[in-house]
């Protein structure tokens, strides 16, 4: 049973026309309409018409990637075209909780009259017509050495920890006359994903979070865009751009992700570091304001990035508020450009603020390299997501015309004060 138009065409009808159409449906037709994916799907969520071996859905969070993959699996199972399907995700929990049992998973989106049985003890879905789908974790590549499949759905490929899993999955696709694989993922600069995009038998569908805004929670897209718009993280996670770390950058996103924690331990010291802009206005540089602490475990913890384009009185108030909120013991401020004005601006807000002036005697790269080394040694952690700071860290290549890294400068001053105070590339004032 199929319908001659889709949900977008239906929405354009006049209210009385929509009411008349729905009133004419039998109970059976209404049930089929509810589960008719071709009616409800956006065009980019339907399989390409052109020939393909791999359909790669490279899209932002909330695009509807999971639903797209699950509906393709359901359609293949219902048609009987595929008899043995592999479902592979980053972890077995991801496969079960997202790809199978999740709100947009295979079981949830299937109609009651053709819903697969999830045999948890065997990690298998079984449809009424005998089609089966086996569940696999990308963490266990060896489990894919023996099976035989004629279709596969690989979810969040960019998050797989073993490239060998993809290679082994490919080797299992030896059943039937025309094996197919669907890959649904948010992009990350992984080699296996790059090879897949370059493969001439791959058809790529790209999409952003915004494309599915009508089906997401109210305010979700606005909230994410307000926080991440214009950042590398936003371009990757929302707009589905494949981004590379800048050549020559001292940090990379993979390492920063490895060094992320939810909460810090007890802290022995906390400082607020300021790298003040020399001018104000919409085109001026930002004032870097970073809060960091030294843990009782000897690790540096970056707590907050409060940087932005602020007038002097604004950044002073912001820094002092952070000083109080985090019970810091010192504010550190670079005075290369502002001189005594930096301290004077802070003391106009709080005359008793503990302040230390620092001034660079060597270039930004020389100052930043020892801090980057601390990251490589695992001696610094980021508390939660710091998207704009991290964006600047991985996109700033010292020596190139990549803009003034004000957030990075503040980060460097904060961690230097906490962990490298005896270094010689700055002098200490009051």
Q: In this structure, are 391 and 278 located in the same domain?
A: yes
Q: In this structure, are 186 and 328 located in the same domain?
A: no
Distance CA 86, CA 165 (A): 12
Is 295 part of a structural domain of the chain? yes
Residue with tokens 């696709």: 173
Q: How many CA atoms lie within 13 A of 308 on its CB side?
A: 13
Q: What is the pLDDT of residue 3?
A: 62
Q: In this structure, are 277 and 330 located in the same domain?
A: yes
For the chain, what is the domain count? 2
- Using the 3D structure, point to which of 215, 240, 269 is the last residue of a domain: 215
Q: What is the pLDDT of residue 240?
A: 77
Give the residues of the chain that fall short of pLDDT 50: 401-402, 423-430
Q: What is the pLDDT of residue 427?
A: 39
Is 28 part of a structural domain of the chain? no
Is 9 part of a structural domain of the chain? no
Quote the radius of gyration of the chain (alpha carbons, Å). Answer: 27
Q: In this structure, are 200 and 297 located in the same domain?
A: no
Is 136 part of a structural domain of the chain? yes
Instruction: Kindly report the CATH number assigned to the domain that includes residue 350.
Output: 3.30.420.240
Is 12 part of a structural domain of the chain? no
Q: What is the pLDDT of residue 426?
A: 42
Q: How many CA atoms lie within 13 A of 114 on its CB side?
A: 18
Is 147 part of a structural domain of the chain? yes
Q: What is the pLDDT of residue 359?
A: 82
Q: In this structure, are 169 and 66 located in the same domain?
A: yes
Q: In this structure, are 261 and 208 located in the same domain?
A: no
Residue 21, classed as helix, strand or coil, is helix
Q: Do residues 290 and 326 make contact, with C-beta atoms less than 8 angstroms apart?
A: no
Q: In this structure, are 258 and 401 located in the same domain?
A: yes
Distance CA 374, CA 329 (A): 22
- Using the 3D structure, point to which of 169, 190, 215 is the last residue of a domain: 215
Q: In this structure, are 104 and 175 located in the same domain?
A: yes
Distance CA 312, CA 280 (A): 8
Q: Do residues 39 and 3 make contact, with C-beta atoms less than 8 angstroms apart?
A: yes
For the stretch 187-231, pLDDT in tens is: 887 778 888 999 999 999 999 888 888 778 878 878 777 767 666
Q: What is the pLDDT of residue 339?
A: 60
Full-model pTM: 0.62
Is 363 part of a structural domain of the chain? yes
Q: What is the pLDDT of residue 159?
A: 87
Q: What is the DSSP string of 300-342?
A: EEEEEE--B---HHHHHHHHHHHHHHTT-SEEEEE-TTTTHHH
User: C-alpha distances in angstroms, 252 versus 188, 260, 406, 412?
Assistant: 12, 13, 18, 16
Q: What is the pLDDT of residue 33?
A: 87
For the stretch 22-68, pLDDT in tens is: 888 888 888 888 899 998 999 999 999 999 999 999 998 889 999 99
Q: In this structure, are 187 and 332 located in the same domain?
A: no
For the stretch 300-317, pLDDT in tens is: 999 999 999 889 999 999
Residue with tokens 């496969």: 95
Q: What is the pLDDT of residue 5?
A: 63
Is 172 part of a structural domain of the chain? yes
Instruction: Kindly report the CATH number assigned to the domain that includes residue 78.
Output: 3.40.50.300
Q: In this structure, are 146 and 273 located in the same domain?
A: no
Cα 273 to chain centroid, rounded: 28
Run of H or E including 197? helix 191-198
Distance CA 82, CA 105 (A): 18
**How crowded is residue 279: how many other Cβ atoms within 10 Å of its Cβ?**
9
Q: What is the pLDDT of residue 230?
A: 61
Q: In this structure, are 83 and 174 located in the same domain?
A: yes
Q: In this structure, are 60 and 185 located in the same domain?
A: yes
* Domain containing residue 322: 253-428
């Amino acid at each position: 049973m199929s319908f001659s138009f889709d949900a977008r065409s239906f929405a354009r009808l006049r209210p009385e026309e929509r009411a008349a159409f729905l009133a004419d449906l039998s109970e059976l037709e209404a049930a089929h309409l509810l589960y008719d994916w071709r009616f409800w799907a956006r065009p980019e969520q339907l399989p390409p018409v052109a020939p393909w071996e791999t359909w790669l859905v490279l899209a932002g969070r909330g695009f509807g990637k999971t639903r797209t993959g699950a509906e393709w699996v359901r359609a293949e199972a219902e048609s009987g075209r595929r008899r043995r399907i592999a479902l592979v995700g980053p972890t077995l929990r991801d496969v079960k909780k997202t790809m199978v049992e999740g709100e947009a998973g295979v079981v949830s989106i299937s109609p009651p009259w053709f819903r697969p049985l999830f045999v948890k003890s065997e990690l298998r879905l079984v449809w009424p017509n005998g089609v089966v789908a086996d569940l696999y974790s990308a963490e266990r590549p060896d489990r894919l050495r023996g099976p035989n499949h004629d279709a596969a759905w690989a979810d969040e490929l960019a998050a797989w920890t073993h490239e060998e899993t993809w290679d082994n999955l490919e080797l299992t696709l030896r059943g039937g006359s025309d094996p197919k694989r669907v890959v649904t993922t948010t992009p990350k600069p992984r080699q296996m994903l790059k090879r897949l995009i370059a493969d001439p038998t791959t058809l790529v569908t790209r999409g952003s979070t915004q494309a599915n805004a009508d089906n997401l929670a109210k305010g979700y897209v606005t909230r994410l865009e307000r926080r991440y718009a214009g950042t590398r993280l936003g371009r990757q996670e929302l707009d589905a751009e494949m981004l590379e770390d800048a050549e020559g950058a001292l940090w990379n996103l993979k390492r920063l992700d490895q060094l992320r924690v939810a909460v810090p331990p007890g802290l022995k010291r906390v400082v607020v570091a300021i790298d003040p802009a020399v001018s104000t206005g919409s085109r001026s540089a930002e004032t870097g304001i970073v809060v960091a602490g030294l843990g009782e475990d000897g690790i540096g913890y970056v707590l907050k990035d409060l940087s932005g384009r602020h007038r002097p009185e604004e950044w002073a108030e912001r820094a002092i508020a952070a000083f109080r909120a985090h019970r810091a013991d010192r504010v550190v401020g670079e005075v290369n450009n502002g001189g005594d004005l930096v301290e004077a601006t802070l003391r106009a807000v709080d005359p008793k603020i503990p302040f230390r002036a620092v001034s660079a005697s060597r270039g930004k790269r020389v100052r930043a390299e020892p801090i980057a080394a601390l990251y490589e040694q695992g001696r610094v952690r980021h508390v939660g997501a710091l998207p704009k700071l991290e964006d600047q860290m991985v996109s700033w290549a010292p020596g190139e015309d990549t803009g003034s890294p004000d957030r990075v400068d503040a980060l460097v001053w904060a961690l230097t004060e906490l962990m490298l105070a005896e270094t010689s590339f700055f002098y200490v004032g009051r």
